[in-house]
Amino acid sequence: MRIHTLRGAKLEESVLGASSSRARSATRVLDEGLEAAALAGRASAGAIYLGARADLLRCVAAFGPSAKLALERGVPKRNLATRAMNRRTPFISGQALLTPLFDGDKAIGLLELQHPKSPNRFTPRDLRVVEGMARYITTSLVQTSSLRRQEGLAAHDPLTGLRNVRELNSELTRAVGTARRGERDMALMFVDVDHLKRVNSKLGHAAGSEALKRTGKALQEAAAGVGDVYRFGGDEFVVVQRNASKESARALADHLRSHVAASTAGPMRPRGELPKITVSIGVATLHGLRHLNGQPASDLKSRLMTTADRALFRAKAAGRNRVALATTRDDRH
C-alpha cells in the first residue's frame, strides 16, 4: 500500500504549527496511522484531513486510486465533513466511513475510509475499530507537535498493555513476507470477547474494561512462546502465530479459548464479581488463501484478516465460545 503525504512547508503549516523536524515525524505518523487504519477497516481508499473546522480541513495523507487527486484537491466533501465534525462520533455514509479527530474538546481533523464495492461494506465493528485507530492518530500527531511523543505509548494499547494495531500491521508485513517465501505457514486469529455489551450494561463499563484486561492477560499467558497477541480495538484481539500449520493453529486457538474461560472470573476491586468471560475465535492461515503468487503483501494481509474475520462470524453465529477455521469460501473477494 502506498501512502501519499504532503511534504515540506505545506505539511509544516498543516500539522499544528510543526517545525520541519516535527513535520518529518508527522509524516511517519500519517503514513503509519493511515496504513494501520486502512488495515483495521479493510478499506481500499482513504485520507486524513487536518483542520479545526469542516471548512478548514485540508488533505495531508491519502491512499488508493485517487490519492494524488485528493492531495491536489485538498478538501473533503463539505456536507459529510460538517456532519462528521458536528457529530464528533464515527459514522457510515454510503461507501464512506468518517471519523473525526479530537484532542479533548479541540477538533484537529478527519479520517475518511472508502470501499468502492458495496455501500454496506463497513459494519458497526469497523466503526469501533477505526475509532480506536483515530485516537491513535490524534494522540501521535499531538505528541509529535508538542515534543511529547513516546514510542512505548504509541506502540501499546493503554488499557491492556498489549501491542496495538500499528504494531500488528508491521508484524503482519514481516510474517506474511516470511511465510510466502518459505515452506512454513503462518496463522492469524481474530478473538472476540463474547457478550461484552452485556457485561457493560449489567456491571458497568469499569467491569467491561476489567474483562478486556483479564482477557488480554489470559491470551498472553496461553500464547506465550507460540504466538503474539495484539489489541485490535473494541472487544477484539488478534493473535499471530508464525511457523504454523492448520493443525497447530487450531490447537492454539482451542487453548486460547479454554484458558480465557478458565482464568477470567473472580473478584473485582473495590467490589463486585466478574463472571466467566468466553471468546469466539476465527482462524485463517496464509497458505489456506487462494492464488498467493503475484499478490502484494498489503493485499495478502487484507485478505488474511478478512478471511479470519469471516471465520469469526461463523463461530459467533454457531453459538459463541468456540473456534472456527477458515475455509476457501471465506476467502472470497
Would you say residue 271 lies in a domain? yes
Does residue 185 share a domain with residue 100? no
90 in Cβ contact with 101 (< 8 Å): no
Does residue 194 share a domain with residue 46? no
Does residue 199 share a domain with residue 88? no
Would you say residue 57 lies in a domain? yes
Does residue 319 share a domain with residue 178? yes
Element (H, E) at 214: helix 205-223
**Can you tell me which residue has the cell 485463517?**
284
Does residue 176 share a domain with residue 84? no
Domain range for residue 107? 4-155
| pLDDT under 70: residue ranges of the chain | 1, 6-26, 40-41, 116-120, 144-154, 333
- What CATH number is attached to the domain comprising 131? 3.30.450.40
**How far apart, in Å, are the Cα atoms of 217 and each of 56, 134, 256, 284?**
43, 25, 11, 23
Beta-strand relationship, 279-285 and 323-325? parallel
Q: Which amino acid is at 176?
A: V
Would you say residue 188 lies in a domain? yes
Task: Count up the domains in the chain and report the number.
Answer: 2
Q: Which amino acid is at 10?
A: K
Three-state secondary-structure class, residue 268: coil
Whether pTM exceeds 0.85: no
**N-to-C CA span, the chain:** 18
Q: What is the pLDDT of residues 170-185, one digit of tens each?
A: 888 888 888 888 778 9
Does residue 215 share a domain with residue 295? yes
Given 137, 155, 173, which residue is the final one in a domain?
155
Q: What is the pLDDT of residue 7?
A: 54
Q: What is the pLDDT of residue 236?
A: 92
- What CATH number is attached to the domain comprising 307? 3.30.70.270
- Distance in angstroms (rounded) separating the CA atoms of residues 237 and 258: 16
Q: What is the pLDDT of residue 283?
A: 97
Would you say residue 160 lies in a domain? no
Does residue 52 share a domain with residue 185? no
Three-state secondary-structure class, residue 325: strand
Does residue 174 share a domain with residue 39? no
Q: What is the pLDDT of residue 199?
A: 93
| Percent composition of the chain: helix, strand, coil (DSSP 3-state, to 5) | 50, 20, 30
